Structure 1
């Protein structure tokens, strides 16, 4: 019948295999492939059932204390019910932890609002982040409207992780734009100096930069310039983020046709008008996928600050089972902390995929 269609000049419609046909063709085409697929499916089903039974069916959910888990054969989620405040708020004063919770809600709401297209402008987006970040910092530190002052040394848990992450992104993104523009400068001295700076910092591990900011900088600067250790670490982290993001932005700029800048100059636009209205918006559009990836990596790398003495969510998780009565529940705590990281990183990655589809980055 297809031969008749070809002879008559008609093109037969394309065949669309059903899902079952595609699975049969890909995984059960031969007896050997069917056997391997069956064994793999059985192992996956066994693993899923084992984890489900340990985490749900045989788990202990009561918060009656560590004694309720002594005879349990599954997970002891009672440690989360008993120690969740420590994981989320760290060393923050118990009576003031509602402020830390509101601060986290404020920064998460800021991230959510900035994801909507109506806030994507050069004036609205900075205002949204300045307002959200100001509310976050004001609630965390206090010292106004009758709120007691809570120093940064008492911050911890998830709220400290969000503070470090949001500060690094907010300060590192403008710095990345500046570095990308300076590296494209027509003055060789500036371009080469910035290139050496970027390549030099990119060649160092983040741990070395954090240790330098926390331990070595106080010996190299006068006492009045040292500042708090938390902000030194954030500054080093922001610089590390900025050099990687600068290369991502510069790659987005190089993807643009050179004629666009020439056309802008022909229309009478100056350098800053050309960059802000033509080059940078398109550069960010081209650099969107790696930018989202860099933001996700930055959130995961916030766990490294635990090695220099900060009580972030990973350190808070370690403290949750460090007592003798909860020492056997480290697996449950690590699973809970991993679920927190997964929730944030998966949401960011899915939002990045949504933006790719919306802006058609892959087609242009």
Structure 2
């Protein structure tokens, strides 16, 4: 009996095969795919018609906003300065713009591996923050003095986020190592500190920093209200980030630390060259997630009297002139948050690829 020779299977590739495999493999998949496709087309068409085709873009056509069928983006044209700069003096908006760009540039440069050294990164942020404060506060070189009570808008949001992250991360590292200390007093005290700050709502901590602290401290220790709020926010961030870093430290095999000790490596070298790089690599997704949460939580400072970007948006829709355009204003605010959060997420994904998270 001679075995029948079968022809080789026909190669199934191409975009048509991919669509058939993923969307039309069965009749039910095909029906559901067509329904979802129709829904997507309807949503995109509605958004296009409302947001772009029938939208009103200029303030000169403001009267048509209440009668048109499209979005009234004229509110952004008319009130974008209030959203971006808050209560900052109108004539000095150029200073707020430069200060905001300085912090953003510092954040971008911090993502470049060239600055990932023990000394370059702190110097970079010292220069960036110094530039921001000098430009925003003024009081020299002919620039009028602007107190922190007048700081606001997007520049204040970016400053609070970056200050909290930069101050909180080193503190989180210290707390993580202190909680792993072989001395019970240090370990238990650090654990108590972390548990207290993690158990309190962020609003409670910020309210205490803004209102309660001045009642119990002398005038010379009170400092600026914005500074106190940033310190309280940084302590809250550090408490959560410390546990993330501690988890990363615990994932490092004990043999690596023991080998470093046997080679008489100084403790500082063990931390900088062996433990911290692996701890940050192993906890990178959680760290990026915590950064995203922190950026969004900056809106809470509105409750204690700061005019950040969300408060500026609320002020726009709180007026009778543009009160009906709250959808457009909040969509614009959502776009601002999306840009920064998406940027953080993409940077985290790039770092994961670069450091090969999960591949040893």
Asked if TM exceeds 0.5, the reply is yes
Q: CA deviation at 1:116?
A: 1.0
- Distance across 2 between alignment mates of 1:95 and 1:16: 66
Q: Rate the CA distance shift 1:223–1:246 in 2: closer, same or farther, 3 A.
A: same
Residue number in structure 1 paired with 2:263: 267
- Residue 107 (1) aligns with residue 107 (2): no
Using a 3 Å threshold, how does the CA distance of structure 1 residues 65 and 136 change in structure 2: closer, same or farther? farther
* 2:103 pairs with 1:75: no
CA distance in 2 between counterparts of 1:65 and 1:226 reads 50
Instruction: Name the CA distance, whole Å, in 1 between partners of 2:271 and 2:213.
Output: 35
Q: Which one of 48, 51, 65 corresponds to residue 47 of structure 2? A: 51
Give the distance between the partners of 1:331 and 1:233, measured in 2 at CA.
30
Which deviates the most, 153-162 or 245-254?
245-254
Residues in 2 aligned to 1:239 and 1:4: alpha-carbon distance in whole angstroms:
74
Alignment map for 1:63-142 (pairs within 5 Å)? 63-64=59-60, 66-142=62-138
Query: Normalized against structure 2, the TM-score is what?
Result: 0.93
TM-score w.r.t. structure 1 length? 0.92
Q: Which residue is 1:221 aligned to?
A: 217
Distance 2:217 2:67 in 1: 57
Q: What is the CA-CA distance between 1:309 and the residue it aligns to?
A: 1.5
Q: 2:293 aligns with which of 291, 297, 317?
A: 297
* Residue number among 199, 203, 206 corresponding to 1:203 in the alignment: 199
Please tell me whether residue 332 in structure 1 is matched to residue 328 in structure 2: yes
| Structure 1 position 284, deviation (Å) | 1.6
> 1:122–1:4: structure 2 CA closer, same or farther, 3 Å change rule?
farther
1:250 has 2:211 as partner: no
| SS of residue matched to 1:64 | helix
Paired position in structure 2 for 1:241: 237
Equivalent residue for 2:30, pick from 22, 29, 34:
34
Q: Which is worse superposed, 345-354 or 202-211?
A: 202-211
How far has the Cα of 1:328 moved from its partner?
0.7
Q: 8 Å contact 1:90–1:313 — kept in the other structure?
A: yes
Deviation at 1:26, TM superposition (A): 3.1
**SS of corresponding position for 1:186:** coil
Supply the RMSD in Å over aligned alpha carbons.
2.0
Q: Deviations over 1:313-342 (max 9, x none)?
A: 001011122221211111100000100000
Query: Could you give the per-residue CA deviations for residues 287-313 of structure 1, whole angstroms, max 9, x where no partner exists?
Result: 222111111111111111111221000
Counterpart Cα distance in 2 of 1:243 and 1:305: 19
Unaligned runs of 5+ in 2: none
| Cα distance, 1:220 vs structure 2 | 3.1
* Counterparts of 2:185 and 2:154, CA distance in 1: 43
Query: Do the aligned partners of residues 74 and 280 (structure 1) sit closer, same or farther apart at CA in structure 2, a change above 3 Å counting?
Result: same
8 Å CA contact 1:252–1:287 kept in 2: the answer is: yes
Q: Which residue of 2 aligns with 1:23?
A: 19
Counterpart of 2:341 in structure 1 is 345
In structure 2, C-alpha distance between the alignment counterparts of 1:348 and 1:108, rounded to whole Å:
12
Instruction: Quote how far apart the aligned CAs of 1:19 are.
Output: 4.5
Tell which deviates more after alignment, 17-26 or 209-218.
Answer: 17-26
Q: CA deviation at 1:197?
A: 1.4
Change (3 A) 1:28 1:188: same
Query: Which residue number corresponds to residue 308 of structure 2?
Result: 312
Deviation at residue 97 of structure 1 after TM alignment? 0.6
Counterparts of 1:291 and 1:93 in 2: how far apart (Å)? 36
Could you list the runs of 5+ residues in structure 1 that have no partner in the other structure?
6-11
Q: Which residue of 2 aligns with 1:188?
A: 184
2:344 aligned with 1:354: no
Measured after TM superposition, the shift of residue 283 of structure 1 is: 1.5
Question: What whole-Å deviation, never above 9, does each CA across 1:211-257 have from its counterpart, x for those lacking one?
Answer: 22222323333343333322221111100111111111111111111
Alpha-carbon shift at residue 155 of structure 1 (Å): 0.4
